[in-house]
Amino acid sequence: MDARFDVVGIGNAIVDVLAHADDAFLARHSMTKGTMALIDAETADRLYGDMAPAIECSGGSAANTIAGLASLGGRGAFIGKVKNDELGKVFHHDIEAIGVHFPTTPATDGIATARCLINVTPDAERTMSTFLGACAELGPDDVDEDVVRASKVIYLEGYLWDREEAKAAFVRAAELAHDAGREVSLSLSDAFCVDRHRHSFLELVENHVDILFANEDEILSLYQVDSFDEALQHVRGHCKIAALTRSAKGSVVIHGDDVHIVDAEKNIKVIDTTGAGDAYAAGFLFGYTNGHADDLAHCARLGGIAAAEIISHFGARPETPLNEVVQQKLG
């Protein structure tokens, strides 16, 4: 079936504000390292006021994945809500400039464009505090039916589950995609997010998801088990493909009875892990939708290469075009 897009992502449209911090900063603000917490506008102002000098760059989990896909040469679309303010224009510019189709109409009034305050500790781990802002306006009507039907795969971020309207958009998009004979992929996003919505996620994975992305913490949380091996046994058979990332240990892809274990890229100086999982999904889905659906180890390798580029610098979008990075690595 012809498709205008390889992947359409649906997610929160966010501008990241990245700064260095030490462990004492995290403790002072009662943050759990490596996780994402939702904050209100007042908390965001207070937290920002205490942060070090920062840089701003476009982010958002699914948006990062689609930007990565486009950087690899894939055809991507993104659905997500910004306000028509300065940061909203930044988000809009960046995603279109990388070649992604972005049909969602920005809000003209109401709450500001979402910001994610990201504190990166000396161990390169990122801890995120998100003010969802205009993302609260995303609803089922924003799901562009033509774009969803015209995409080989739709990609949904678990973070959307934190709001009822966004969840409704999410389910509507999944139904549209399946009706059109497309595949549905989901990222579990965050172990705490999984904890908040475990029952829903289990039902989703069982009934709606073809390709599941999760890191080790998230898959352990989903099945409430203590070991990765146990989690593998649980996920097997409950979705078509599960691509599970393990940081420096690489990734494991489960597909029916097949298990592919793929090493992480070597000799990477890790500066900032923000967006690592998003970039992995970008590489994987680029391979999957561009002729390598029968070679999932290759898809996982592409995921690892994309993730390695992202973690080698500050910020979650590629600094070097990912198609060039892949070309260098794989020739």
Binding site for a copy of itself (CB under 8 A): 19, 48-49, 51-58, 67, 85-87, 90, 93-95, 97-98, 112, 314-315, 317, 319
With respect to a copy of itself, which residue has the nearer C-beta, 95 or 160? 95
Helices (H) and strands (E) in the chain, counts: 13, 13
With respect to a copy of itself, which residue has the nearer C-beta, 216 or 272? 272
Whether the CB-CB separation of 16 and 44 falls below 8 Å is answered with no
Whether the CB-CB separation of 278 and 61 falls below 8 Å is answered with yes
With respect to a copy of itself, which residue has the nearer C-beta, 48 or 228? 48
Distance spanning both ends of the chain, measured CA to CA: 30
Whether the CB-CB separation of 113 and 130 falls below 8 Å is answered with no
Q: How far is the CB of 48 from a copy of itself (least distance, A)?
A: 6
- Map residue 257 onto helix, strand or coil: coil
Largest CA distance in the chain: 54
State the Cα–Cα distance between residues 132 and 82, nearest whole angstrom: 10
With respect to a copy of itself, which residue has the nearer C-beta, 93 or 249? 93
Q: How far is the CB of 270 from a copy of itself (least distance, A)?
A: 15
Distances (CA, A) of 11 to 21, 162, 163, 178, 230: 27, 11, 11, 18, 30
Helix (H) or strand (E) holding 213: strand 211-215
